[in-house]
Chains A and B, each alone.
Chain A
Amino acid sequence: MGDEFSHSQRLKAAIHFTVARCCEEVGQDCEKNFSKLAIAAISETTFKQCDIFAKDLEAFARHAKRTTVTVEDVKLAARRSASLANYIVQKSEELTSNTKEQKERRKKLTGKRKSGDSLPAAAAEGDDSSMAGDQNALG
């Protein structure tokens, strides 16, 4: 019990740290100083909001008969404000394209390691696309 308490206290401290830095940044931008109480209040609100987000995400995932929360659930959690939803969708597209690249890189590496008995097509495809990229760069 005591262990769990200190665990959540630590996470609160981590949030407080990031919120303080964020407030400092905004303060410089707007030429304002944030009082310590205001920063503490924003941190506490963020912590509570995170609780709400987590419970929502869990419920969304369960509704989709999953036990893992995915990007789709986060998109649903951001549905209340249109501009926030647009921003989150855009960010998620960036993230998925990044992870796809990483996966392809990993595939290439494992393909080479296995001397290409299971993934020769994928490795060849990857080589082709990189060669096409080189040609484009030259042209």
Chain B
Amino acid sequence: MEDREPEVVFKKETVGKLLSLFFKDDKTKVSGDAVLLMAEMLKIFVQEAARRAAKQADTEDSGTVDIDHFEKILPQLLLDF
């Protein structure tokens, strides 16, 4: 029906605003390439979280990925990033 984008990515604008929201110093700026690279990194983070949670659901023989599956993979996920 509609032309779906082949890949889900964070918008450059969103990532830029997110980063500047978290900076302690207002003077800190981000270069354009760095924003794009951060968008890529966040995408990897989300994909990794989703895939690990799906794998955990699979080992527990569950059709839906629930919050407790995600909770189980969360510590290792945070150690890897």
Contacts and interface: CB of A to CB of B under 8 A. Distances in A.
The prevalent SS among residues of B at the interface is helix
A56 B26 CA distance: 15
Task: Name the interface size band of chain A.
Answer: 35 or more
B49 A99 contact: no
A64 interface: no
B21 A11 contact: yes
Interface of B: 8-11, 14, 17-19, 21-25, 27-34, 36-38, 40-47, 49-51, 53-55, 57-58, 63-67, 69-71, 74, 77-81
Nearest to B68: A38
B50 A22 contact: yes
Given A88-B41, A95-B36, A22 B65 contact: no
Main secondary structure of the interface of A (DSSP, over half): helix
A131 interface: no
Nearest to A30: B54
Given A11-B17, A67-B27, A35 B64 contact: yes
Contacts, number: 166
Nearest to B40: A91
B19 A69 contact: yes
A70 B31 contact: yes
Contacts of A8: 21
Nearest to A89: B37
Contacts of B22: 50-51, 54-55
A25 B30 CA distance: 30
B67 to A, nearest CB: 4
Nearest to B62: A32
A54 B41 CA distance: 12
Interface string A86-112: 011001100110010000000000000
B54 A58 contact: no
Contacts of B71: 41
A37 B66 contact: yes
A99 B47 contact: no
A43 to B, nearest CB: 8
Contacts of B53: 34, 38, 42
